[in-house]
Amino acid sequence: MSEKLSYAQVGVDIDNADATKKDMQKSLETTDSRVLNKSGAFAALFEAKFDGIDNPVLVLKAEEPGSKQLLSFRHNKVSNICYDLINHLVNDIIVMGARPEVVLDIILCGKIEKEIVVEVVEAISNACRAQDCVLIGGETSEQPKVLPEGSYMLNASILGVVDKHKIIDGTKIAKGDVIIALASNGLHTNGYTLVRTLMDTMPQILDEKVQEDSFLDAILTPHRCYYQNLKELFPTDVINGLAHITGGGIKGNLNRILPAGVNARIELDKMKIHPLFEIIKRYGNVDDEEMLKTFNMGVGITLVAHSEDASQIIEHLKLTGCDAYIIGEIVDGEQCVEYINELNY
């Protein structure tokens, strides 16, 4: 081959990547003395010291925000999807009683666009700070011909910690406990492939209003995080179980924490359904069984507690800005979620 090739000619610009990473460094600055590496190190160093925790158990999770990120990048809601990513991650570990500590992110793209990548890192870092944790590193990878130019795929992993004696895993759940719904603020990060199909086949859905928001703004609202609402309850031992309601709905998530010998009975008519779901049901002619399996239907987390503790838990959650109310109870059964009554849209 007579022509001289360079990496930049075939789509990977190392100089641009280095300049982009240099601009990221400010977003990675932290005053947490446990972070021992400087920005640009080959790996992150985090000293395992956890104030107030006698028997630390590390809680680990990785996540990506699904096909919602396609819409977010397409409609210039880059910051929103970064909050989706972190808030979903945090919710997945706090349901075990964990305190979020540090996050690593991964940004895959067809071509590094400096402004967008720097915006992503800044938004992820800010989303972490909002939940009392720190973005300490990650990876940004330019992959031409693997991903189209202008496309991005985000994911991240989180490390949290919980005292061994404070783990919330559902083992304390017992017959007679009540099930409390913590309200969602919309779709969160599940069901977007169905919604995108509706947008493609019935574009008039975009003319719908969801309360004061456009349909597009409503579906791109970041996934709500519940850590700030719940963290003061963790030391009180009033929570017997928590389930993050994601793909599979209540039935496919609450069952994961039920101990042997009990069922969770949900009264569907008590659920406060977010208005987004009525629009999706109407346009897609989606039956209720499918709606309940695909979407959270307005319930972001279910909390199980003794009936005598329910009022104080609900009062606390409402004081922190989270609507909460009883939607069911624990009954004899075989570790299943059962639905009774009908949904009221």
Distance in angstroms (rounded) separating the CA atoms of residues 328 and 177: 9
Helix or strand run (H / E) with residue 230: helix 227-230
The Cα–Cα gap between 106 and 92 comes to 18
> Phi and psi dihedrals of 263, rounded to 5?
-120, 160
Return the bridge partners of 266, or none. Answer: 328, 339
Q: What is the largest CA-CA distance in the chain?
A: 81
- List helix spans (H) across 51-139: 68-74, 78-94, 114-130
Per the structure block, which two tokens stand in for 213? 């928001």
Q: Are residues 129 and 225 in the same domain?
A: no
Are 156 and 24 in a shared domain? Answer: yes
Instruction: Locate 341 and state its tokens.
Output: 């009554």
Question: Domain containing 65: what range?
Answer: 14-166
Report the distance separating Cα 93 and Cα 320, nearest Å.
20
What is the enclosing helix (H) or strand (E) of 71? helix 68-74
| Residue 8 lies inside a defined structural domain of this protein | no
Is 1 part of any domain?
A: no
Among 166, 198, 227, which residue terminates a domain?
A: 166
Contact 241, 172 (CB under 8 A): yes
In a shared domain, residues 255 and 109 = no
**182 and 330 co-located in one domain:** yes
152 has which bridge partners? 109
Pairing of β 178-183 and β 209-210: unpaired
Task: Give the residue from 145, 166, 187 where a domain finishes.
Answer: 166
Split into its structural domains, the chain has a count of 2
Looking at the structure, tell me whether residues 330 and 240 fall in a common domain: yes
9 C-beta neighbours (distance < 10 Å), count? 10
Where residue 317 sits, what CATH number does that domain have? 3.90.650.10
Q: Where are the beta strands (DSSP E) in 184-269?
A: 209-210, 213-214, 241-244, 262-267
Residue 20's nearest CA partner among 90, 119, 97 is: 119
Please tell me the predicted confidence (pLDDT) of residue 21: 66
> Which residue's structure tokens are 């240099």?
22
Beta partners for residue 299, in sequence order: 183
- Based on the domain organization, do 148 and 221 belong to the same domain? no
- Provide block-wise average pLDDT over 10 residues at a time, the chain (345 residues): 62 67 70 80 85 95 94 96 98 98 96 94 97 94 91 97 97 98 97 97 97 96 98 97 97 98 98 98 97 98 98 98 98 98 96
Q: Do 224 and 309 belong to one domain?
A: yes
92 contacts: CB under 8 Å, gap ≥ 6: 61, 63, 158, 244
Same domain, 118 and 260: no
Same domain, 190 and 322: yes
What does the block give as tokens for 233?
A: 């309850």
Q: Quick one: pLDDT at residue 39?
A: 73
Question: Which pTM does this prediction carry?
Answer: 0.92
